[in-house]
Amino acid sequence: MSDLAGNRFDETAAGASWDYTLVDGTPPQATTIAPVPGARVASLAQIEVGFNEAVTGVDAADLRVNAQPATNFLVTAAGTYRFQFPPAPTG
């Protein structure tokens, strides 16, 4: 281990310590979406999205259909979210 100048860390020096942060640079990927994008449905009351890892900070407004945010969402399993929508107007 070394600093930005290339100086090797001396773990034997008095008071030697270090701090580090682990960074996950790979964003979560949606692995399942139901109904599948492009599917024709008679009405759309909910969309379920599953991710390949746990995600945080999910909110109902994160998913929109025709510019309208979901009204509610549920965590159905680790990394799987069900977004619920009000009935669309007829016509």
Residues in the chain where the model's pLDDT stays below 70: 91
pLDDT at 91: 61
40 burial class (0-12, 13-18, 19+ CB within 10 angstroms)?
A: exposed
Residue entry with tokens 């969402």: 73
pLDDT at 7: 85
The pTM (predicted TM-score) of the whole model is 0.69
Residue entry with tokens 């379920």: 48
- Tens of pLDDT, residues 7-28: 888 888 888 888 888 888 899 9
